[in-house]
Structure 1
Amino acid sequence: MDIQLGLAGKDFVILLADNQITNSILTIKHDEDKIYKLSEHVVMSVSGEPGDSSNFSEYILGNTVLYNIRNQHELSVDSCAKFTRKELANALRSRSPYQVNYLIGGYNTISQKPALYRIDYLASIAKVEFAAHGYASYFCYSIFDRMKKPDLTQDEALDILAACVNELTRRLVINHSSYTLKLVDSNGVRVINGEELLKRTSAK
């Protein structure tokens, strides 16, 4: 029942993920942060089996941080996405594949452009302007198609995500009560208060 959404704007990327950890009909946690900060300009959201999500994501995070320490500079968003895809593909061809899906977004400080990548559990990768994983994809792609436009501003991106959350709240049988939002631009990563999104949602 994971919710993952991502949007690339004019000079930023924003990721949204729900905060629930579930097992069958039980909710284990309501405050899980599923968006990992890989570097000062790259974030990664994950969905899938809880054990796989935690183990593989921490492996990617650890290797990214290690690269930063050894080389005295951070991996770009493109490099992080391709490294994650490579490791996921290697695991897929072993006896212990991971049932995880990723959205990796960030700001490339060299090209000075944002980038958003969608990676699924079969290790397919695509650079996109918007993306969704989980049950959100059944409801939100039509909203993205209708509302997404070139040179999207941060305020417009939040309006699109609010419309998506509003649709999920009205039509999805499972109600998610809280979300994590992280935005990446030239200034780095910052967390957006989920309450701001819920206020926009209630205003729709």
Structure 2
Amino acid sequence: MECVFGLVGDGFTLIAGDTSAVQSIVVQKTSEDKIMILDSHKLLGASGESGDRVQFTEYIQKNVHLYQFRNGIPLSTAATANFTRGELATALRKNPYSVNLLLAGFDKDVGPSLYYIDYIATLHKVDKVAFGYGAYFALSMMDRYYHKGMSVEEAIEFADKCILEIRSRLIVAPPNFVIKIVDKDGAREYGWRKTIEDASEPPAAELLPAVEVQS
């Protein structure tokens, strides 16, 4: 029941995503950060199978860094989006990745931008978008409340509305979300929206004593 959504505001792009790692009917953890900081001015939000999501996003991140090391300049957001789409398209004909992506970035000559890239290598530049089961509710909220030129405060308030709607309406709703922003000052984490914490291992003193088996 994943959900990742994003929007472009006045001079920034915001991405919010759930933080649940799930296998079948089991929630393995609720603190999985699915929004990667690609470089100083780019974010990559992902949803999909855990193995594909982690492997592919790390592959893109390392290649973006490699390009900058080799050429001395970073890839633009548009170039990164097209590179990512190309890698997905190539893999689609060999060993496809089950992963959907939101690429957010800020370029000096372009400003903020947001790209939708799905698992079959479809690429679109958008102002607002959402993935996952939560998208049914996030997109309807966007249709009603989103407008171009949102301030950071308005965007955060709007993201909180989307998260509340997802938690209220989705039958198996993710409990925790993380919000990240990229603007002229760079890509950064804004904050978390938590309702539960992952259970930690009990200290040694609280562990049950071993039971001796009588022979």
Could you say whether these structures have the same fold, taking a TM-score greater than 0.5 normalized by the shorter chain as the test? yes
The match for 2:152 among 151, 154, 162 is 154
Q: Give the Cα–Cα distance (whole angstroms) in 1 for the partners of residues 173 and 148 of structure 2.
A: 31
Superposition deviation, residue 138 in structure 1: 0.9
Structure with more helix by fraction: 1
Of the two, which has the highest radius of gyration?
A: 2
Query: What stretches of structure 1 move > 2 A for 4+ residues in a row?
Result: none
Q: TM-score, normalised by structure 1?
A: 0.92
How far has the Cα of 1:150 moved from its partner? 1.9
Q: Could you tell me how far apart the structure 2 residues matched to 1:81 and 1:191 are?
A: 21
Map of 1:166 onto structure 2: 164
Q: Which ranges of structure 2 fall in alignment gaps of 5 or more residues?
A: 196-215
The residue matched to 1:193 in structure 2 has which SS?
strand
1:128 maps to: 126
Deviation at 1:142, TM superposition (A): 1.3
Contact 1:8 1:130 in 2 (8 A): yes
Residue type of the partner of 1:11? G
- Determine what percentage of the aligned residue pairs are the same residue: 38
Give the aligned residue type for 1:158. I
Match of 2:208 in 1: none
Task: Give how far 1:177 is off.
Answer: 2.0
User: How far 1:110 sits from its partner (Å)?
Assistant: 2.5
Q: How far apart in 2 are the matches of 1:184 and 1:108?
A: 10
| Distance apart, 1:158 and its partner CA | 1.0
C-alpha separation in 1, matches of 2:7 and 2:138: 12
Per the normalisation by structure 2, the TM-score is 0.87
Cα distance in 2 for partners of 1:110, 1:70 equals 22
Aligned length: 195
Instruction: Report the Cα distance in structure 2 between the residues aligned to 1:103 and 1:122, rounded to whole angstroms.
Output: 14
Q: Indicate the SS of the match to 2:131.
A: strand
Deviations 1:36-64 (A, max 9, x none): 11111111001001111111111111101
Unaligned runs of 5+ in 1: 199-204
Secondary structure of the 1:152 match is: coil
Check conservation: 2:4, 2:45, Cα contact below 8 A: yes
